[in-house]
Amino acid sequence: MQLGMIGLGKMGGNMTERLRRADHEVVGYDHTPGKRDVDSLPDLVSALSAPRIVWVMVPAGEPTKATIEELAELLSPGDVIIEGGNSKYTDDQVHDVLCREKGVGYIDAGVSGGVWGLENGYALMVGGTKEDVAKAQPIFDALKPPAPHDEAGEEMPGAGFVHAGPVGAGHFSKMVHNGIEYALMQAYGEGYELLAAVDLIEDVPGVIASWTQGTVIRSWLLDLLVRALQEDPALDRITGYAEDSGEGRWTVEQAIENAVPMPTIAASLFARFVSRQDDSPTMKAVAALRNQFGGHAVKAVQAQEAEKPA
């Protein structure tokens, strides 16, 4: 099958390679000349046979919006755009209206798998019409992980791919997925910190590695933490600054809008905000209050600076 891929970075580039290994023809475009097969979006569209399928894998927000607006003018009725970045689901609904006015189909695809997707496959959550999804199904089948089998050797349906609903459902599902991811990473991080804080535990990386088999908390994220600790046992080579890419915030916003209690995911999001503060104003206020009502000692800035290693 033929596909146009726009955006050949870490995700788009690896997805392109996985599709080519599955004998699909991919025409790639990227702003970086050395990566691309064609020099412009018009060239990309011209290189594809109708009905065309074009996958957009560029940063969410204005880059995605501008790309889809240009594609909608270039493509023909019956063609399909797949938007696979980390866009907000409400943006998809706006893009869908724009595309439908031109007779172009639109699918939003939440994609999970990171840099490991090339070898392991990508989990795909898509939104769109049944007709549009069916047109792109061979592409989704090549990208998703191999299906697991039950005890009788029968392939188990559903694993790694879902048509979640109409346009917006794919990115909404990925948004919730990433919110859960925030909470899982926070829990593993807190467990690591407690293990490292006590003298009783002599092999922190070993304890965490022991959890990867036979326990109820084993997961791919835990495997990745083990890998990180093998490379840097005390995590001395990195800082504790953690960004958020938007999905965690959007998940909490939707929880509020729909009156769904989500204390764990919300706390993990706020913990990332705390990670960006060298000297938390909140904790300054807490220290000052403890001093005011209880006479508890506070550490002066000068003393704190003097204790820092040279």
Is 284 one of the catalytic residues?
A: no
Q: Are 208 and 226 in contact (CB under 8 A)?
A: yes
Instruction: Give dist(CA 28, CA 15) in Å, integer.
Output: 11
DSSP secondary structure of the chain: -EEEEE--SHHHHHHHHHHHHTT-EEEEE-SSTTT-SSSSHHHHHHHSPSSPEEEE-S-TTHHHHHHHHHHHHHS-TT-EEEE-S---HHHHHHHHHHHHHTT-EEEEEEEE-GGGHHHH--EEEEES-HHHHHHHHHHHHHHSPPPPB-TTSPBPTTTTEEEEESTTHHHHHHHHHHHHHHHHHHHHHHHHHHHHH-SS-S-HHHHHHHTTSSSTT--HHHHHHHHHHHH-TT-TTS-S-----SHHHHHHHHHHHTT---HHHHHHHHHHHHHT-SS-HHHHHHHHHHHHHH------HHHHHHHS--
Is 181 one of the catalytic residues?
A: yes
277-298 as b/e: b if 16+ CB within 10 A: eeeeeeeeeeeeeeeeeeeeee
- Annotated catalytic residue within 130, 174, 190, 257: 174
- Annotated catalytic residue within 181, 202, 257, 305: 181
Residues with active-site annotation = 174, 181
